[in-house]
Amino acid sequence: MAKTNIFDVLLRTISDVQQKNKVNPKEETADPSIFDILKEKLGELDQKSREKRSARGKSPKSILDMIRKEIEGVRRQNKRDPKVATAPKSVFDDILKKVEQRPQRQASTGIRAIVEEYNLDISRLPREVVYQVQQKYASDKRQFDKQYAQAIFDLTKQYK
């Protein structure tokens, strides 16, 4: 089974969101150029990641953070461009939702593993509490991963 690249998933998601937006009678149809710009920006980001260019900044950046930044940049560009109608908020939100799914799924899986490993009974906990625990777990995991990424980044600089 071939490994699916996050960019491939996002490009399919952009096409799906465009199609959904086009057929939704309750929502204004977004200008097709917006979707083209999104695909172009994410394609450029994908190319950079494939070429393994290291960040010029002082610390490494998460690919998901870079994707979010590009999507938000296109949203801002769309709002400022007087020649192109501003796309409905849901267009960008639906794409960002796909970006957020992976960390949420990882948090859910991580919490489930902890519950099983420590034989915890969480059946009486309200859903909201479990959700808050998952959010905290995801936040802590991002921080932990960021620390390791920074340490590895620093090591790579030592061995140049």
- Per-residue pLDDT tens for 113-125? 999 999 999 999 9
Judge whether 59 lies within some domain: yes
Expressed as residue numbers, the domain containing 10 is 6-158
Total structural domains within the chain: 1
pTM, entire model: 0.74
Q: What is the average per-residue pLDDT within 97-115? A: 89
CB atoms inside a 10 Å sphere around CB 109: 11
Q: What is the pLDDT of residues 24-82, one digit of tens each?
A: 999 999 999 999 999 999 999 888 877 765 545 566 788 888 999 999 999 999 999 99
Judge whether 1 lies within some domain: no
Q: What is the pLDDT of residues 3-20, one digit of tens each?
A: 568 888 899 999 999 999
φ/ψ region of 2 (left if φ > 0, alpha if ψ in -120 to 50, else beta) reads: beta
